Structure 1
Amino acid sequence: MRRITLFAAALAVAAPAIAHHGWSSYDESKPITLTGTLTSVSWANPHGSATMRWQGKSWDVILAPTSRMDARGLTEAMIAPGQRISMTGYARRDGTPEMRIERVTAAGKTVELR
């Protein structure tokens, strides 16, 4: 019974790490900048996310953890849906319209997130 309990505990700890994506799937050698209007935003942990229409595609955007965004001066109101912003970061290597962002320019302010 003890082995089953230990196995279950180890699985519970490892599952979120396995489910969470790594950064190696993004091409850091080719930064891109998207400028447009956000269609959705999730201000949540382990990191925020957003969606933006750009060049005819709906892009998923991986933001930083909310504590980092707050600490760096990026507020939830600055990136609310409907806001026009610019984001610079790295697209996925496989061509999926998704990016991990490094910098946001919103409400006249540029914020470094990484």
Structure 2
Amino acid sequence: MKLPLFGLCLFGALLTGGIAVAHHGWGSYDAGRVMTITGNVERADWENPHVMVMVPYQGKSWEAVLAPPFRMNARGLNPDMIKPGTQVRLEGYPSTRTATEMRAERIVVSGKTYELR
């Protein structure tokens, strides 16, 4: 009886550990360097823990980490507004770990600015 319970606990610990690693903290972004990217969305993933979009910038595809889906909805954004092909302007902070990643603080879609934090 103890062995199956131990196995279940171990499985749970491994599962939540993987999720914690996948969700990095905001400390890995350089808040001292504001950057702006304007381009057409190549890919958009409307999923927890954060919505992500890929936008071309300086010859490379940049991944922008946006807000969680519930906050995007609360701010008036929905998946149809940032689908591939949509032009966006992203303002935020570059990653200190990944050369082509940023944390977006705001997004401009169809001329309207949405604050993400």
TM class by shorter chain equals 0.7 to 0.9
User: How far apart are the structure 1 equivalents of 2:10 and 2:98?
Assistant: 37
TM-score when normalising by structure 2: 0.86
Selected match of 1:53 from 33, 56, 69 = 56
The count of residues paired between Structure 1 and Structure 2 equals 114
Return 5+ residue gaps in structure 1 as ranges: none
Pairing 1:1-114 to 2, within 5 Å after superposition: 1=3, 2-94=5-97, 96-114=99-117
The one-character-per-residue Cα deviations of 1:77-114 (angstroms, maximum 9, x if unpaired) are 22111111101011112461111111001012111111
Higher strand share: 1
User: How far apart are the structure 1 equivalents of 2:59 and 2:15?
Assistant: 40
Q: Percent identity?
A: 43
Matched AA of 2:28: S
The one-character-per-residue Cα deviations of 1:26-74 (angstroms, maximum 9, x if unpaired) are 1011111111111111111111111111121111111211111000111
Matched AA of 1:56: G
TM-score when normalising by structure 1: 0.88
Which shifted more, 97-106 or 42-51? 42-51
Return 5+ residue gaps in structure 2 as ranges: none
Higher helix share: 2
Matched AA of 1:44: E
